[in-house]
Amino acid sequence: MVNRGGTCVRRTQVGIVGAGPAGLFLAHLLHRQGIESVIVENRSRAEIEGTIRAGVLEQWTVDLMNEMGLGARMMREAHFHSGITLRFNGDSHHIDMEGLTGGKRVTVYAQHEVIRDLVAARLEDGGEIVFNVGETSLHDLDTDRPKIRYRCGKDGEVEEIHCDFIAGCDGFHGPSRAAIPAAVRTDYQKVYPFGWLGILTEAPPSHPELIYANHERGFALLSTRSPEIQRLYIQCDPKDDIAHWSDDRIWSELHARLATKGGWSLTEGPIFQKGIIAMRSFVCDPMQRGRLFIAGDAAHIVPPTGAKGLNLAVADVVVLSRGLVDHYRSGRLERLEQYSATALRRIWKAERFSWYMTTMLHRNEAETPFEQRIHLADLDYVVHSHAAATALAENYVGLPID
């Protein structure tokens, strides 16, 4: 670090804003190819390692973690399922993802566990992650010396990272997307009229795999975190106040929505965390401006029903890292210039799948009775047609990156 006119300046090849899945995977992918990076993150290490997000990994994400030597704890502690259960009209239907996709499985490993593994390995490799930064802004993006300017802490000194490229991996509310001028950018968005109320409960698993239920009272999902901790969700009004939801009310909705004709029962336990999240689909096109490339939630959002969020962020940075590696090897920029177009082709397919799972599985009073019946027909089709089940399975376990 050098001091220029009172401002401390760090120099690196790729400056990364945000230590979520996109930023951390990118730093690891670049390091493996001998490319230096520095990550700045406005939260603390404890915060990023404790933020609870969806927990399903696509098969290639699991393979990538293993290839990078980051998968040891995941292979010990994750839950590997051969498929999922779709439940509607009181009947359960197993979708055999493993059989339908030539051996690809559903891996349940919470996002914050992935983050913990990636942060620890990055710091062990001598990588730099500057936590707790204050106000952050991006500069000189149309030159070949772009800069990240940030405050150390809330009221601290201003520092700068001078780099060749900036990766904006700073989530939906970070400054990166806003640095692509609105005049050259199209934002595509759909807001759903429902949200998810999610709980963590101390209880043993009630079922060996995830259950996605469409019930007349609304959607419900049963997932897991560990042999002792389960994650469950119910569809609710996104504007509802969590204070309206006593534990008894939550359990009674879960029992009703997950009930089967077959006598299966849900095991209750103490609820130790609960909250409501809104649901939206969002895509920003293009995902680049000059020497800034945005990835993950900074560029797109999916509703959690397809379990795609983390995987989509990792796929972006795999594409981005290839462009950066090509540049540092050959001096060419062509592959990097293709980043947005290449990433968006896969992103739109994941957006389609997440929207499809969401509309098929939720109850939406704003829809016509005709549309609501179409979703039930869709479910009936998926569980009785090999072709339709295969299409669902190949999307769920993850489409190829190329």
Non-local CB neighbours of 282 within 8 Å, separated by 6+ positions: 172, 187, 188, 189, 190, 300, 301
In the set 109, 304, 339, 375, the catalytic residue is 304
Give me the sign of the Cα torsion angle 372, 376, 381, 383.
Answer: positive
Look at residues 397, 354, 360, 366 and name the one whose alpha carbon lies nearest to residue 380.
360
Q: Angle between the 386-396 and 369-384 helix axes, to the nearest 10 degrees? A: 90
Alpha helices (H) along 110-214: 111-124
Site for ligand PHB in 201-220 (CB under 6 A): 210
Give me the sign of the Cα torsion angle 397, 171, 117, 66.
Answer: positive
**Interface with ligand PHB, residue 231, by CB under 6 A:** yes
| Active site (annotated) includes residue 109 | no
**Interface with ligand PHB, residue 55, by CB under 6 A:** yes
Phi, psi of 96 (to 5 degrees): -85, 80
Site for ligand PHB in 303-322 (CB under 6 A): 304-305, 307
| Active site (annotated) includes residue 81 | yes
Closer of 38 and 258 to ligand PHB (Cβ): 258
Q: How many residues bind ligand PHB (CB under 6 A)?
A: 9
In the set 212, 233, 339, 356, the catalytic residue is 212
Query: What is the nearest approach in angstroms of ligand PHB to the Cβ of residue 221?
Result: 6
Closer of 284 and 302 to ligand PHB (Cβ): 302
**Interface with ligand PHB, residue 20, by CB under 6 A:** no
Alpha helices (H) along 125-182: none
Residue of 54, 121, 179, 397 interacting with ligand PHB (CB under 6 A): 54
CA 157 to chain centre: 33
Non-local CB neighbours of 4 within 8 Å, separated by 6+ positions: none
Closer of 15 and 198 to ligand PHB (Cβ): 198
Closer of 26 and 54 to ligand PHB (Cβ): 54
Site for ligand PHB in 246-305 (CB under 6 A): 304-305
**Interface with ligand PHB, residue 325, by CB under 6 A:** no
In the set 308, 327, 362, 375, the catalytic residue is 308
DSSP 154: S
Closer of 28 and 207 to ligand PHB (Cβ): 207
**Interface with ligand PHB, residue 195, by CB under 6 A:** no
CB 266 within 8 A of CB 220: no
**Interface with ligand PHB, residue 176, by CB under 6 A:** no
CA 218 to chain centre: 24
| Active site (annotated) includes residue 308 | yes
**What is the set of active-site residues?**
81, 212, 304, 308, 396
- Interface positions with ligand PHB (CB under 6 A): 54-56, 210, 223, 231, 304-305, 307
